[in-house]
Structure 1
Amino acid sequence: MSVEFLHPDGMLQQTDYSPVAVGTGSRVVLLAGQAGVTPDFKPAAPDLAGQVEAALRNIIVGVRGAGGDVGDLARLTFYVVDWSVEKWDDVLAAIARVQQEEGLPDPAPPISIIGVQALFTPDFVVEIEATAVLT
């Protein structure tokens, strides 16, 4: 694994994701924002949790396509339409499914969530960008 997750003393000790990731590889992979879509550009689900899960799976396909794996993910940035804190449980539920089924680290890599007005089409409610460090 090329990424180490840290919870330094003095930082918020949340359990859902790590506040710090240290990459020790030689290649950086920057993934464009991935929506929760199927390969034919249709929404994979009508709801936030379903689209988060599909977007994370698309991120994993991209990392693996670059020669890495889920343990190489160093950062995830979520863009969520009409974000409110009440949506956090849906995001966590989707992350948990991908952790169980695909081996996404638990706790997850550092996460930022940014509320946006809209995405590419009105059917998309989330887009996720990712950074991975490969050895």
Structure 2
Amino acid sequence: MTVTTFSPDGLLQPVPYHHVSVSTGTRHVHVAGQIAREADGTPVAPGDLTGQVEQSLRNTARALAGAGATFADVVRLRIFVTGWQPDQMGAFLQGVENVAAEIGLELPLPPASLIGVEILFEPDVLVEIEAYAVLD
């Protein structure tokens, strides 16, 4: 495995992600923001944060696979959510948990940032997920 994730003592716990990842390898994979769209552009789960998280993670898994990577190789996730409010955390985490086994995403998540934004590039897009992975 090229990536080791952990949370050192003294950092905020519990959180749904690891605080640190250490990787070795020479091939870096940068996945552009993935959203809740089918390959033909059809929106998935309009107005549903949980459903959009699920589809965005599925698309992220597909993008990683295209580079020969999996979530086990991910060193960092950056997640943007429109109109973020702390009371949305349950819906967000439910989306993660619903697809984790399906896409090979171990929990807790790799180091991640969840960033609230006013809007994304189209009005129906509630979440966008970027991934960074390292391969040997």
Q: What TM-score, normalized by structure 1, do the two folds share? A: 0.94
Cα drift, residue 42 of structure 1: 2.0
Are 2:114 and 1:105 equivalent residues in the alignment?
no
Letter in 2 for 1:103: G
Q: What TM-score, normalized by structure 2, do the two folds share? A: 0.93
State the SS of the aligned residue for 2:133.
strand
State the SS of the aligned residue for 2:56.
helix
Q: Tell me the distance in 1 between the aligned counterparts of 2:81 and 2:57.
A: 13
Preserved contact between residue 43 and residue 51 of structure 1 (Cα < 8 Å): no
Q: Tell me the distance in 2 between the aligned counterparts of 1:2 and 1:83.
A: 33
Are 2:29 and 1:29 equivalent residues in the alignment?
yes
Per the alignment, residue 54 of structure 1 pairs with: 55
Unpaired runs of 5+ residues, structure 1, are none
Please give the per-residue CA displacement for 1:35-68, whole angstroms capped at 9, x wherever unaligned: 1111111221121111111111111111110011
Q: Tell me the distance in 2 between the aligned counterparts of 1:27 and 1:98.
A: 26
Q: Tell me the distance in 2 between the aligned counterparts of 1:15 and 1:61.
A: 26
Runs of 4 or more off by more than 6 Å in structure 1?
none
Letter in 1 for 2:61: I
Preserved contact between residue 6 and residue 21 of structure 1 (Cα < 8 Å): yes
Q: Tell me the distance in 1 between the aligned counterparts of 2:77 and 2:134.
A: 12
Preserved contact between residue 75 and residue 130 of structure 1 (Cα < 8 Å): yes
Per the alignment, residue 10 of structure 1 pairs with: 10
Unpaired runs of 5+ residues, structure 2, are none
Letter in 2 for 1:71: A
Q: Tell me the distance in 2 between the aligned counterparts of 1:7 and 1:93.
A: 22
Preserved contact between residue 73 and residue 132 of structure 1 (Cα < 8 Å): yes
Q: Tell me the distance in 1 between the aligned counterparts of 2:84 and 2:42.
A: 22
Q: Tell me the distance in 2 between the aligned counterparts of 1:97 and 1:134.
A: 27
Q: Tell me the distance in 2 between the aligned counterparts of 1:106 and 1:114.
A: 19
Per the alignment, residue 87 of structure 2 pairs with: 86
Q: Tell me the distance in 2 between the aligned counterparts of 1:21 and 1:2.
A: 10
Cα drift, residue 24 of structure 1: 1.4
Q: Tell me the distance in 2 between the aligned counterparts of 1:53 and 1:81.
A: 16
Q: Tell me the distance in 1 between the aligned counterparts of 2:28 and 2:112.
A: 17
